[in-house]
Amino acid sequence: MKIITTTELNRHLTDYLNLASSEPVLITLDDGRLLRLSSVDQADLEDEAFENDPRFAVLIEARRADYVRHGGLSLTQVKEQILMATQVREDSAEYQINSSGETATDETDHAQKD
């Protein structure tokens, strides 16, 4: 990580833009604030769009209020439920490991009837 002043950035803008593609560049402003110059990939761009969308903030607040009103599950409880569901699936007749180590399921026709 490189730390530079705005004067240094102005003098060598292209160099620091190129550097920012591989490592963050921190810029100190005259009033003491810091800015960060760094590359952004597609996943970061999508996250940024969600995080700054006011509809997303409203959704998060609604979910938090719902949790306060009705409670929820702890991370430990969620993990336990996932483990129990996995165990049930593995114990079922439809889930078997064949001799080659591949997962095999019941060959029964599960097509929906009209």
Residue 69, domain extent:
44-95
107 inside domain? no
Say whether pLDDT at 108 is over 50.
Answer: no
Same domain for 71 and 85, yes or no, is: yes
Say whether pLDDT at 110 is over 60.
Answer: no
DSSP SS3 for 114: coil
The answer to whether 24 and 6 are in contact (CB under 8 A) is: no
Q: List the CATH number of the domain containing 12.
A: 3.40.1620
Same domain for 30 and 51, yes or no, is: no
Q: Among positive and negative, which fits the CA dihedral 18, 23, 29, 35?
A: positive
Number of separate domains in the chain: 2
User: Residue 34 has what DSSP assignment?
Assistant: E
pLDDT digits (tens, 9 = 90+) for 62-72: 988 988 888 88
